[in-house]
Amino acid sequence: MNIFEILYYSGCLIKKKFKLSNQKKLPVKVISIGNITTGGTGKTPATIALAKKAREKGFNPCILTRGYRGNIRGICFISTGDGPLLDVKMAGDEPFLMAQYLKDIPIVRGINRYEAGIFALNNLPDNKKPDLFILDDGFQHWGLFRDKDIVLIDSKNPFGNNKLLPSGRLREPVSEIKRADIIVITKTDSWRTNAVAGNIEKILITIKKYNLHAPVFYSRHEPLYFKNINGDIYPLEWAAGKAFYGFCAVGNPGSFKETLISIGANPKIFRTFQDHHNFTKTDIQNIIKETKGNNIEWIVTTEKDIMKLKTFNLPENLLSLAIKFRIDDEFYTEVLGRYL
C-alpha cells in the first residue's frame, strides 16, 4: 500500500470499529447487496431483480438506499411502490431507476439505514409493511446487522488495479470477501468465448483463497431492446450495422461498449463521463454537435444515464439500452428460501 491507501484504509478501520460497536438490528430480516469496488458490478439491476423475485414469492420487500448523489437530505420515501416521489436530482440516479421499475415495492432513502428501516416500518400501511429489507450497496454499512451479505464481482474488471481508494477502485482489501455469504460473478454473458473466461478462473482462485463457505453464482446482464424518449421500442437486431454515438457515466463503461458491439451496433464514437456525472445542457449540445460532424444518425446511453437527461430538450434519435439481470433460480432459493 502507498501512503494514500494507508491513510484511507486507516480511516475505514476506525469507522468500522466504531460502527460495529454500535451496530443495530432491525426486527425483520435484512439482505445486503454490495461489492468491494466503487461500482461497475451491476448492482442496481441485481437489486431490482431480487426485489421483484421476493415480491413474487410473497414477501413484502423494502429497499433501503443511501441515495448516492441525491440532493434530498434526511430520511424519506423515494417511492411507496407507485413510482418515484422525487425527481432524479433529489433521489439520485440509481434509486430513481429502481423506483421506475419496481411496483408495490417501497424504497426509503437514508444515510443511517437502521433509522430508515424503522421509518419504513412506522410509516407504511399494513399491506406494505416490510417483512424483508434489501440493503442497497450495504457491504460496508457497518451500522446495520445483515442476515445475508451478497457480494457482486464484475467478471470483466473484478478488482481494478488491486489498489485501495484513492489509488484504485477497491473500497477494502480483496481479502474481505471472506465476509460474504453469497458471491455473484456478474456480466458473464460471453465468458465461454472471450478473455472473460480467464478472468473468471482467476476470480475463482481468489475467492477460494479467502472464502470457502460462500456459494458462487454467475449472472448475465442481458440486453433487451432500445427505447427512445417517446417510449418507442427498437428490437436489438434493428441496431445491426448502424453507427452510434455511445456515451455513459457508469462504473464500468467498457462493459456498456462491449454490449453494444455484441449485438451488432457500431459505437463509432464512445464517450465516458465519471460515474454518477450530472449532465449539463452543454454536454448534450456537444454530443449532438459531434454526431452531426461525424455523420452519426443515432445516439445511445444507459438506462441509468437517461434518467438524468429527461429534464433537457432531447433529440428523438437518443436511445437508451434496456438491460435485465439474469441468474439461475438456485440463487433466489439460496437467498430467499434457505433461511427466511
Domain of 296 in residue numbering reads as: 222-324
Based on the domain organization, do 236 and 288 belong to the same domain? Answer: yes
Between CA 45 and CA 149 the distance in angstroms is 17
Between CA 322 and CA 144 the distance in angstroms is 33
Based on the domain organization, do 96 and 72 belong to the same domain? Answer: yes
pLDDT the model gives residue 273: 96
Q: Specify if 333 maps to a domain.
A: no
Based on the domain organization, do 149 and 281 belong to the same domain? Answer: no
Between CA 86 and CA 78 the distance in angstroms is 6
pLDDT the model gives residue 340: 55
11-14: long-range contacts at Cβ-Cβ below 8 A with a sequence spacing of 24 or more? 12/140, 12/171, 12/172
Number of structural domains the chain divides into: 2
Instruction: Read off the pLDDT of each residue in 246-255 and give the average, rounded to a whole number.
Output: 93
Domain boundary among 162, 193, 220: 220
Between CA 5 and CA 328 the distance in angstroms is 37
Give 14-62 pLDDT, tens digit per residue. Answer: 999 999 999 999 999 999 999 999 988 999 999 999 999 999 999 999 9
252-258: long-range contacts at Cβ-Cβ below 8 A with a sequence spacing of 24 or more? 252/39, 252/40, 252/41, 252/154, 252/156, 252/157, 254/156, 254/157, 255/40, 255/154, 255/156, 255/157, 255/187, 255/221, 256/302, 256/321, 258/156
Question: Cell 467498457 appears where?
Answer: 254
pLDDT the model gives residue 195: 58
Bond prior to 166 in cis (omega within 30° of 0): yes
Based on the domain organization, do 38 and 148 belong to the same domain? Answer: yes
Q: Specify if 77 maps to a domain.
A: yes
Based on the domain organization, do 173 and 306 belong to the same domain? Answer: no
Q: Specify if 138 maps to a domain.
A: yes
pLDDT the model gives residue 19: 96
CATH number at residue 243: 3.40.50
Confidence tier at 191 by pLDDT (50, 70, 90): very low
Based on the domain organization, do 186 and 230 belong to the same domain? Answer: no
pLDDT the model gives residue 20: 96
Instruction: Look at residue 137 and tell me whether its pLDDT is greater than 50.
Output: yes
Instruction: Look at residue 339 and tell me whether its pLDDT is greater than 60.
Output: no
Instruction: Read off the pLDDT of each residue in 288-315 and give the average, rounded to a whole number.
Output: 92
Domain boundary among 172, 201, 220: 220
Three-state secondary-structure class, residue 98:
helix
First to last CA, the chain: 41
Q: Specify if 23 maps to a domain.
A: yes
Instruction: Look at residue 279 and tell me whether its pLDDT is greater than 60.
Output: yes
Instruction: Read off the pLDDT of each residue in 208-220 and give the average, rounded to a whole number.
Output: 97
Based on the domain organization, do 23 and 163 belong to the same domain? Answer: yes
Stretch (H or E) spanning 18:
helix 3-21
- Identity of residue 150: I
Based on the domain organization, do 264 and 153 belong to the same domain? Answer: no
Based on the domain organization, do 70 and 15 belong to the same domain? Answer: yes
Domain boundary among 220, 249, 273: 220
Three-state secondary structure of 101-167: HCECCCEEECCCHHHHHHHHHHHCCHHHCCCEEEEECCCCCCCECCCEEEEEEECCCCCCCCCECCC
Based on the domain organization, do 209 and 230 belong to the same domain? Answer: no
3 CB-contact burial (10 Å; exposed 0-12 / middle 13-18 / buried 19+)? exposed
Q: Specify if 147 maps to a domain.
A: yes
Tell me what percent of the residues of the chain surpass a pLDDT of 70.
97
Instruction: Read off the pLDDT of each residue in 297-304 and give the average, rounded to a whole number.
Output: 96
Q: Specify if 337 maps to a domain.
A: no
Q: Specify if 336 maps to a domain.
A: no
Based on the domain organization, do 106 and 123 belong to the same domain? Answer: yes
Tell me what percent of the residues of the chain surpass a pLDDT of 90.
87
Q: Tell me, yes or no, if the pTM score tops 0.85.
A: yes
Q: Specify if 271 maps to a domain.
A: yes
Based on the domain organization, do 80 and 165 belong to the same domain? Answer: yes
Give 3-17 pLDDT, tens digit per residue. Answer: 999 999 999 999 999
Give 60-106 pLDDT, tens digit per residue. Answer: 999 999 988 888 989 999 999 999 999 999 999 999 999 999 989 99
pLDDT the model gives residue 141: 96
53 CB-contact burial (10 Å; exposed 0-12 / middle 13-18 / buried 19+)? middle
pLDDT the model gives residue 280: 94
Give 119-131 pLDDT, tens digit per residue. Answer: 999 999 999 999 9
